[in-house]
Amino acid sequence: MKALQGIKVIELGQLIAGPFAGKTLADFGADVIKIEPPGTGDPLRKWRMLRDGTSVWWEVQSRNKRSVVADLRDADGQELVRKLAREADVLIENFKPGTMEGWGLGWEALHAINPKLIMLRISGYGQTGPYKDRPGFGVIGEAMGGLRHLTGEPGRVPVRVGVSIGDTLSSLHGVIGVLMALHHRTASGGDGQVIDVALYESVFNCMESLLPEYDAFGAVRERAGSALPGIAPSNAYPCADGSYVLIGGNGDSIFKRLMGAIGRADLADDPALEHNDGRVARVAELDQAIGQWTRERRSADVLAALDGARVPAGRIYSIADIAADPHYQARGMVLQTTGGDGQPLRVPGIVPKLSATPGSLDHPAPQLGEHTAQVARSAGWPSRD
């Protein structure tokens, strides 16, 4: 038995934000029917690195789903969605606001067909507001949400995070909304509802104290490279072998243990450094002391010493490090599957870990339209295969 077994989901979205939400639900047992346009399917099938003509990213994003080909721009495809919506619990879409309404598949139309249906709508700026009709991708949401302004080195061009974090954050907010809406429907006997997720809002929701600091003090946080402004010490420090280690010594008791490990009892016992606010005032001094110690040692020796002192520290992993790491293996975070080309492929594991109803990788990503006939028959829709 899986946590979401029996939940039926229609996924109309493409690329990242909508499909990542669908993947997360499918990993925990939801029956996710992915509707793809004829001919090409989801554009993600051709994104980044291809093996035998198909993106290996596709194998992750669409695992555990069923693929149905239907053109949502014509009456036939729209009718299929209506038929599926009658029995569905959740519908996911990440088109520009108004697109679904133009196809006759907006909230009012689908709610009339199935009052229990939950509709997850992910867009750049949300379904309302003066910007709602603007096209919006994750990178724009990251910028508008405040993340890009903080990312990079001081005085340099702001840089992007190396993955589509804005899309993924929106997906996860969407999944949270779906689970809350399902609980409301079950616990109170209520109807379905719309979950309106905006990319920029999902990013902004993770911006911690940016707004209250600006409101209370007029402070505009700027780029700080590898440091974490206002929290000390927390930074990346160079080692003798040319690598860096990340050290988080910002807890009060952790700071004392860190200073003991690097031979700076004078700093450990300094009452002015007992709490974070005092350490922030002298962060340059602390970073210099820690960096002087790490520069004289190989990263492995630094990490061993800090582990012995119970100080959070770690090296910066590449994907090669991740793939070889025994902890990833022990936690089931590197799974072996078979790609659409029949060749073995390692993919990320299931998150989060549930003790009683864990998720699993049961089916590889589908071929385009692999389940069209099957779904068409069950929905009473004339297949065009």
**Helical ranges in 103-227 per DSSP H:** 107-113, 138-144, 147-150, 165-188, 199-204, 210-217
**Rounded CA separation 11/26 (Å):** 11
Q: What one-character DSSP code corresponds to residue 272?
A: G
Which one of the listed residues 42, 167, 196, 287 is annotated catalytic? Answer: 167
269 assigned to active site: no
Output the CA angle 199-24-355, nearest 5 degrees.
Answer: 130
**Rounded CA separation 349/343 (Å):** 18
**Rounded CA separation 157/138 (Å):** 19
Contact between 181 and 111 under an 8 Å Cβ cutoff? The reply is no
Contact between 66 and 33 under an 8 Å Cβ cutoff? The reply is yes
**Rounded CA separation 84/378 (Å):** 9
Please provide the DSSP assignment of 75-96 as one string: HHHHHHHHHHHTT-SEEEE-SP
Strands (E), 254-338: 313-315, 334-338
Sign of the CA dihedral with 304 first, then 330, 49, and 141 last: negative
Contact between 237 and 224 under an 8 Å Cβ cutoff? The reply is no
Compute CA distances 283 → 1, 27, 133, 263, whole Å. 52, 44, 45, 18
Q: Which residues fall within 8 angstroms of residue 314, CB to CB, at 6 or more apart?
A: 245, 246, 303
In 3-state terms, the chain is what percent helix, strand and coil (to 5)? 40, 15, 45
Active site members = 167
